[in-house]
Amino acid sequence: MLSPALEKQRHQLFAHTVQGMEERLQSGQDPAAMLTALHWGMRELDRTFAETPAKVRATVACRAGCAFCCSVPVHVQAHEVFFAAEYIQKKFSPADFAGVLTRTATHRTRVSGLLVDERGRLREPCALLRDDGCCSIYESRPEACRAHHTNSAEPCRADLTELDVAIEKAYIPALRARMYAVMLGIDEAIENAGFDDRAYDFGSALNEALTNSLCRVLWMRRQPAFPDSCLAEPPEPTGETIPLRSS
């Protein structure tokens, strides 16, 4: 249970983030303005971590190269996918870009049709994880990746091979509450603006975003950005579907 002071901070951070995102979302209706708003939101997450009391941050066990959490499913909203895709398109070499396309396509095929629990049991390394155990898009990683911290790497290590690991016992409440308040504030503002709020499998949606320019157009029109096959929890088949593809 959170202390009254931390509960108050959580509400303040959430309200501040919602207001800040909404102001920036209203300043423009083009993709560039949207990405500017997203950059602000992600910086707020980083700032919130940096401004968390030092004694709390000192309990964080996460270090560069510690990639145990990079083999669990990551569920995101569409704006997080476009934020990552922009980074890849601007920063990656042609060879690295091709590698991401291949790995995300393989991931997408492998998890297609699986339920959340089934995907979780795969413990498949993220397609963006480098050989040295570091994230290749660290500056543009999803919100959940930024907000996840534990006070020990051992539960994370065990979670890769064992069932029913109580990893939540390693969470840091004083940090998690602050980070998730900002994360939820970003999502709330974007949802309030009418943008796609469905939960997607990160690797599958990223593959779609990098191969189909229509995704961002649909998103800007406040329509579902990605096909149902990219959802974190795909719906049960109801008949033939028309894939979203640009001509």
**Residue 235 pLDDT > 90, yes or no?**
no
Mean pLDDT computed over 10-35: 92
**Residue 162 pLDDT > 90, yes or no?**
no
Render pLDDT for 99-108 as a digit per residue (tens, 0 to 9). 999 999 999 9
**Residue 236 pLDDT > 90, yes or no?**
no
**Residue 134 pLDDT > 50, yes or no?**
yes
pLDDT computed for residue 238 by the predictor? 56
Question: Quick one: pLDDT band at residue 242, thresholds 50, 70, 90?
Answer: very low
Distance between CA atoms of 21 and 156, rounded to whole angstroms?
32
Distance between CA atoms of 20 and 40, rounded to whole angstroms?
8
- Nearest Cα to 76, choosing from 222, 210, 214, 186? 186
The proportion of the chain whose per-residue pLDDT surpasses 90, expressed as a percent, equals: 78
Q: Any idea where the domains of the chain sit in the sequence?
A: 4-230
Query: How many other C-beta atoms can be found within 10 angstroms of the C-beta atom of residue 226?
Result: 24
Report the range of poorest mean pLDDT among 52-66, 78-92, 227-241: 227-241
The predicted model scores a pTM of 0.90
Q: Which DSSP state fits 132?
A: T
Render pLDDT for 189-211 as a digit per residue (tens, 0 to 9). 999 999 999 999 999 999 999 99
* Torsion region of 75: left, alpha or beta (phi above 0 gives left; psi -120 to 50 gives alpha): beta
